[in-house]
Chain A
Amino acid sequence: MEASTAHAESHGHMPVANASVEFNREKLGMLLFIFSEVMLFASFFTAYFFIRVVQGGEWMPAGQELPVGVAFANSAILFSSSATMHWALEGVRHNNRKALKAGLVLTILLGATFLGVQISEYAHLGFLPKDSAQATAFFSLTGLHGTHVAVGLIILCVVARRAFKGHYGPEKDKHWGVEIPGIYWHFVDVMWFFVFTSLYLL
Chain B
Amino acid sequence: MAVTLRSPGWYRAALSTLIGAAFGCGLVVGLRALFGWDEIVQAESIVSVVLITAPLGFLYGIGCFDYWIHWAAGRPTYVDDHSDHGARSWKDYFRVNTDHKVIGIQYVVTTFFFFFVGGLLAMTFRAELIEPGRQFIDAQTFNALFSAHAAFMIFTFMVPVFAGIANYVLPLMIGAPDMAFPRLNALSFWFLPVAGVLMMASFLAPGGAFATGWTAYAPLSDQAPMGQTFFAVAVQFAGASSIATAINFLVTIVTMRAPGMTFWRMPMLAWANFATSLLVVLATPFIAGSQFMILFDRALGMNFFDAVQGGDSVMYQHVFWFYSHPAVYIMVLPGFGIISEVISTHARKPIFGYRMMAFSLLAIVVLGFSVWAHHMFVASMQDWIRIPMMFTTMLIAVPTGVKIFSWLGTMWRGAIHLRVPMMWALGFITMFVLGGISGVMVAVVPFDIHVSDTYFIVAHFHYVLFGGSMFTIFAGIYHWFPKMTGRMLNDTLGKWHFWLTFIFFNLTFGPMHLVGLEGMPRRVADYASEFAAWNAIMSFASFALGLSTLIFVYNVIVSWRSGKPAESNPWRAQTLEWQISSPPPIFNFDEVPTVVGHPYEYGVPGARHGIFKHPEPLAAAKAPVPAGVGDDD
- CB within 8 Å of B: which residues of A? 1-4, 6-8, 10-23, 25, 28-29, 32-33, 35-37, 39-40, 42-44, 46-47, 50-51, 54-55, 57, 61, 129-136, 139-140, 158, 161-162, 165
Q: How far is the CA of A50 from the CA of B315 in the complex (A)?
A: 6
Q: How far is the CA of A172 from the CA of B66 in the complex (A)?
A: 27
| A39 close to B70 (CB less than 8 A) | no
Q: Which residues of A contact B296 (CB under 8 A)?
A: 129, 136, 140
Contact segment of B80-88, B108-116, B447-455: B80-88
B116 to chain A, nearest CB (A): 31
Q: How far is the CA of A37 from the CA of B85 in the complex (A)?
A: 30
Q: Which residues of B contact A33 (CB under 8 A)?
A: 243, 247
Contact segment of B192-200, B202-210, B302-310, B544-552: B302-310
| A28 close to B315 (CB less than 8 A) | no
Whether A36 contacts B303 in the complex (CB less than 8 A), given A46-B318, A136-B311, comes out as: no
Q: Which residues of A contact B322 (CB under 8 A)?
A: 43, 46
Whether A10 contacts B250 in the complex (CB less than 8 A), given A15-B587, A43-B289, A55-B310, comes out as: no
A-B contact list, 10 entries, CB within 8 Å: A14-B80, A14-B82, A17-B256, A18-B259, A21-B255, A23-B255, A25-B256, A42-B286, A57-B310, A133-B310
Q: How far is the CA of A20 from the CA of B293 in the complex (A)?
A: 41
| A35 close to B319 (CB less than 8 A) | no
| B587 close to A20 (CB less than 8 A) | no
Name the residue in A2, A47, A129 with the highest tally of chain B Cβ atoms < 10 Å from its Cβ: A47
Q: How far is the CA of A134 from the CA of B88 in the complex (A)?
A: 57
CB < 8 Å: which of B8, B72, B290, B309 contacts A132?
B309
| B304 close to A47 (CB less than 8 A) | yes
Name the residue in A17, A21, A25 with the highest tally of chain B Cβ atoms < 10 Å from its Cβ: A17
Q: Which residues of B contact A32 (CB under 8 A)?
A: 246-247, 250-251, 281
In the complex, which residue of chain B has the Cβ closest to the Cβ of A17?
A: B256
Q: Which residues of B contact A130 (CB under 8 A)?
A: 300-303
Q: Which residues of B contact A136 (CB under 8 A)?
A: 296, 302-304, 309, 311
| A15 close to B285 (CB less than 8 A) | no
| B8 close to A3 (CB less than 8 A) | yes
Q: How many residues of B contact A (CB 8 A)?
A: 77
B179 to chain A, nearest CB (A): 10
B571 CB–A CB distance under 8 Å: no
| A36 close to B84 (CB less than 8 A) | no
Q: How far is the CA of A17 from the CA of B177 in the complex (A)?
A: 6
B258 CB–A CB distance under 8 Å: yes
Q: Is chain A's binding surface mostly helix, strand, loop or mixed?
A: helix
Q: Which residues of B contact A12 (CB under 8 A)?
A: 585-587, 590
CB < 8 Å: which of A18, A133, A134, A135 contacts B258?
A18
Q: Which residues of B contact A4 (CB under 8 A)?
A: 81, 83
Report B169-198 CB contacts with A as 1/0, cut-off 8 Å.
Answer: 000000111101100000000000000000
- CB within 8 Å of A: which residues of B? 7-8, 66-67, 70-72, 74, 80-86, 88, 175-178, 180-181, 243, 246-248, 250-251, 254-259, 261, 281-286, 288-290, 292-293, 296, 300-304, 306-307, 309-312, 314-315, 318-319, 322, 585-592, 620-621, 626, 628-629, 632
Q: Which residues of B contact A2 (CB under 8 A)?
A: 7
Q: Which residues of A contact B285 (CB under 8 A)?
A: 36-37, 39-40, 42-43
Q: Which residues of B contact A40 (CB under 8 A)?
A: 285-286, 288-289
B333 to chain A, nearest CB (A): 17
Q: How far is the CA of A156 from the CA of B58 in the complex (A)?
A: 26
| A51 close to B74 (CB less than 8 A) | no
Q: How far is the CA of A51 from the CA of B84 in the complex (A)?
A: 49
Whether A133 contacts B304 in the complex (CB less than 8 A), given A35-B281, A55-B312, A140-B293, comes out as: yes
Q: Which residues of A contact B319 (CB under 8 A)?
A: 43, 46-47
Q: How far is the CA of A17 from the CA of B311 in the complex (A)?
A: 51
| A13 close to B587 (CB less than 8 A) | yes
Q: How far is the CA of A133 from the CA of B307 in the complex (A)?
A: 8
CB < 8 Å: which of A11, A21, A132 contacts B254?
A21
B98 to chain A, nearest CB (A): 11
| B81 close to A29 (CB less than 8 A) | no
Q: Which residues of B contact A51 (CB under 8 A)?
A: 304, 310-312, 315
Q: How far is the CA of A3 from the CA of B98 in the complex (A)?
A: 13
Q: How far is the CA of A50 from the CA of B312 in the complex (A)?
A: 7
| B628 close to A20 (CB less than 8 A) | yes
Q: Which residues of A contact B175 (CB under 8 A)?
A: 18
A35 to chain B, nearest CB (A): 5
B154 to chain A, nearest CB (A): 19
Q: Which residues of A contact B257 (CB under 8 A)?
A: 18, 20
In the complex, which residue of chain A has the Cβ closest to the Cβ of B622?
A: A19
Q: Which residues of B contact A10 (CB under 8 A)?
A: 85-86, 88, 586
Q: Which residues of A contact B7 (CB under 8 A)?
A: 2-3
Q: A10-B586, A16-B177, A132-B303 are in contact. List 12 more A-B contacts (CB 8 A).
A: A2-B7, A4-B81, A6-B83, A14-B85, A14-B587, A15-B589, A17-B256, A19-B256, A20-B261, A25-B180, A50-B314, A51-B311
Q: How far is the CA of A2 from the CA of B83 in the complex (A)?
A: 9
Q: Which residues of A contact B284 (CB under 8 A)?
A: 36, 39
